[in-house]
Structure 1
Amino acid sequence: MNSISVIIIAKNEAENIVDCIMSAKQVSKDIIVAESGSQDNTQALVIKAGARLLQTDWKGYGQTRNEAAAIAVNNWVLALDADERVTPKLAAAITNLSLEDNSILYGFKRSNFLATKKLRFGEWGKDKVYRLYNKHNAAWDLLLVHENIIGSGIHKKLLPGGLLHYTMKDLAEYRAKTILYARLSAEKYADQGRKATLLKRFISPTFSFVQNYIVRLGFLDGKAGYITACTDSKYIFLKYKFLHELLQQRK
């Protein structure tokens, strides 16, 4: 087994955290869960599963990941969300890495599920993430949402295998996450000085649906493909709606 640490961010993830930790044990003996104010038994489950618990105030996704990476035993770090699972194929690929080049940022495909339905087409069907990095050569940016790993001179390499992402157990959770991420994205855009033009507010959502459902064949995922295309379109509408409201408040 390579010298890799795994960091996981979690809040109220009692349903997910044990399975996530167990999948992470395929690649690491040093697993850190950064937990921020859970009201369920996430903390107890983390300890029982044999991971290290880092209790911290929520400072955003990127900063929380950086805090967890700072106490990792190893220089190479794999970052996971609590609703993700490392597949055996990805675990084998990671275990066989030489990890001699600190400038490489490793990525892999991610299979997304709406409840139990795997999304094979549309925007969600072509997902990949870059999560394995050397913490002395790269770190997470401090954006409120949709954070990325940044560093000097890093280059990307895609590994075989992937993650399973059980991000949406039902429609209620999916819609709640959509609203949350739309608000966070609006705050990020406002801080970046971006504008909520009429084109962005009313044309972009329609374009998103057509691109997702028709051009990228989301309709082949059946009802789940239609739901995700509609919800992603609504996310874009809400993002610019919230941005417009924020900009009006800041005038």
Structure 2
Amino acid sequence: MARAPFSLVVTTLNNAGTLERCLASAAFADEIVVLDSGSTDATRDIAARHGARVVVEPFKGYALQKQSAIDKAAHAWVLLLDADEALAGGARDAIERALEQPAVAGFRLPRRERVFWRFNRRGVRLNTHLRLIDRTRVRMNDVPVHAAPETREPTATLADAEFLHYGEPDIHTKVAKINAYSTGLVEHKRGKRRRFLALRLVVYPGFFFLRQYVGKRWFLDGWAGFINAVSAAYYVFLKYAKLYEATRRREP
């Protein structure tokens, strides 16, 4: 049975170091769309070499940029990857089968993270992300820095369609991202009522550490998993600390 055609959609900015791997991993896509926001390295040359349709637009924010890229796809079904991500072995077969008779609005794919010097071991509970979508029924949300596709319609998980994330090669990069992301979320969270903010600030980081390190079995990643769990708890702490700081600044 023939599968539904799909477009691979990627947004880029100076991603020459990872884009080749990303595009090669999904070369079976019926179309490749790369929306670039002004790269000065070889990003666009790499995309063109893989037969991508390259469009250049100024960066409008994470959600708007990705939605703009999705809207440019020729096909209803879209595989959305970041330039520092790539499909793992076996993902192609799972995607091909899923698109033969798709009865849902999208499919969630498990993401295996590079944790500093290693990838997650087998046995770690991976997060799943909605990345293979029917763009006529799925839209990007408006959450700053963590923008993601959302739908109220049914979705399914493709357990065999893992993809790899190469985004945080060292602790320095992780900490810099934590600081930037936690600041980026402050205005978004200020617009929503947050009860017991001080209690969250004290209690939630420790709970989050245990949830990740024990509940999601990050301990299987050894010291990399421990450092990652501490970093994740620190990220949670910073989000609430910066939000608390913002509320205090409004006081006389």
More displaced stretch, 36-45 vs 158-167: 36-45
Identity of aligned residues (%): 28
Partners of 2:74 and 2:119 in 1: how far apart? 35
Q: Deviations over 1:40-80 (max 9, x none)?
A: 33233222332122222222222211101111111111111
Change (3 A) 1:180 1:88: same
DSSP 3-state at the match of 1:62: helix
List structure 1 runs of 4+ shifted beyond 6 angstroms: none
* Mapping for residues 1-251 of structure 1, pairs under 5 Å: 2-26=4-28, 28-98=29-99, 100-101=101-102, 103-120=104-121, 125-152=125-152, 154-159=153-158, 160-194=160-194, 197-250=197-250
Give yes or no for contact 1:32–1:72 (8 Å, CA) kept in 2. Answer: yes
**Cα distance in 1, alignment partners of residues 242 and 37 from structure 2:** 25
Is the CA contact (8 Å cut-off) linking 1:112 and 1:125 kept in structure 2? no
Deviation larger for 216-225 or 95-104: 95-104
Deviation per CA, 1:13-51: give whole Å up to 9, x if none: 11111110111213x131112222334332332223321
- With normalisation by structure 2, the TM-score equals 0.88
Displacement, 1:100? 4.4
Which segments of 5 or more consecutive residues in structure 1 lack a partner in the other structure?
Answer: none
- Would you say how many aligned residue pairs link Structure 1 and Structure 2? 248
**Structure with greater strand percent:** 1
Distance 2:242 2:122 in 1: 29
Given that 1:120 and 1:126 are in contact with CA atoms closer than 8 Å, whether structure 2 keeps it comes out as: no
Q: Which runs of 5+ in 2 are unaligned?
A: none
Segment drifting more, 228-237 vs 133-142:
133-142
Q: Structure 1 pair 98/79, CA: closer, same or farther in 2 (3 Å)?
A: closer
Q: Separation in 1 of the partners of 2:122 and 2:196?
A: 29
Give me the CA root mean square deviation: 2.3
CA–CA distance in structure 2, aligned partners of residues 130 and 146 of structure 1: 13
In 2, the alpha carbon distance for the partners of 1:34 and 1:193 equals: 35
